[in-house]
Amino acid sequence: MSVNGKAANILLDLVSGYDPAADHDTNARAYGATVASLNDAGVVVARLSSDDALDLYMDPLFVGSGWTHRWLLDQLADATGKDKDTLIFELREFVARIDK
């Protein structure tokens, strides 16, 4: 997968990493997986401090684009009647198709 394909999927990870309808444990696991992929890509820097506190730095441009992507996903869901999981799956398929 190209750098652009990875970036597109990381943005989708950010948007899909939290579900207000899910329970706390599910959201915590999703958040952890999302932060790990963002950390691997260098977009989020996550470190444990000497007192085992988690220190996060998230690039403000990336966070801002995540907010706009979340809004666009909400608009797509309303316009198509599809749930967000289906739309994210379709977006990942689209990225895979054009990332050749």
Query: Average per-residue pLDDT in the chain?
Result: 84
Give pTM, 2 decimals: 0.68
Mean pLDDT calculated for residue range 12-40: 77
- Looking at residue 97, what is its pLDDT? 95
pLDDT at 75: 96
Question: For 80-93, what is the mean pLDDT?
Answer: 93
CA atoms within 13 A of residue 11's CA, in its CB half-sphere: 20
Cα separation, 24 vs 20, in Å, equals 9
Q: Identify the DSSP state of 20.
A: T
pLDDT of residue 23: 82
pLDDT digits (tens, 9 = 90+) for 51-71: 888 887 877 888 788 889 889
